[in-house]
Amino acid sequence: KAGVTQTPRYLIKTRGQQVTLSCSPISGHRSVSWYQQTPGQGLQFLFEYFSETQRNKGNFPGRFSGRQFSNSRSEMNVSTLELGDSALYLCASSFGQSGGGETQYFGPGTRLLVL
């Protein structure tokens, strides 16, 4: 079974621009969660999507948004990029039916650098 895939793997943007990251979950998984990893803050939860609906949200500004498609693929968008948005963005997938207590499998991440 193929693992979680993320595209692109690397991105360089400038302040003020916007960016869209993509995540394809493991086949059969309907939950996709997004995390931001930085040296200063560690791994922080952004949001989770299940059946095309945002089910849970972390403490990030509204510039961070996401969506999920009917095939469970998910995209994350960051608008008006700031230098502090430079990070490794990871997505994780799970079956999602139980709403918790499931193992999440992570993708390789997208490294975003904002100049």
Partner 1 sequence: SQELEQSPQSLIVQEGKNLTINCTSSKTLYGLYWYKQKYGEGLIFLMMLQKGGEEKSHEKITAKLDEKKQQSSLHITASQPSHAGIYLCGADMGKAAGNKLTFGGGTRVLVKP
The contact set with partner 1 (CB under 8 A) reads: 4, 6, 31, 33, 35, 42-45, 48, 50, 55-56, 58, 88, 90, 92, 94, 96, 99-109, 111
β strands within 14-114, DSSP E = 19-24, 31-38, 42-50, 53-57, 64-68, 74-78, 87-94, 105-106, 110-114
**Sequence-ordered alpha helix ranges (H) in 1-115:** none
In angstroms, give the least distance from the CB of 83 to partner 1: 19
- Of 19 and 29, the one with the shorter C-beta distance to partner 1 is 29
Q: Measured from the CB atom, is 59 or 70 closer to partner 1?
A: 59
Q: Which is nearer to partner 1, 76 or 90 (CB)?
A: 90
Q: In angstroms, what CA-CA distances link 114 with 16, 79, 85?
A: 9, 12, 7
- Alpha-carbon span 14 to 41, nearest angstrom: 22
* Nearest-approach distance from CB 6 to partner 1, in angstroms: 8
Give the separation between CA 72 and CA 81, rounded to whole angstroms.
26
Q: How far is the CB of 103 from partner 1 (least distance, A)?
A: 5
Write down the least CB distance from residue 45 to partner 1, Å.
5
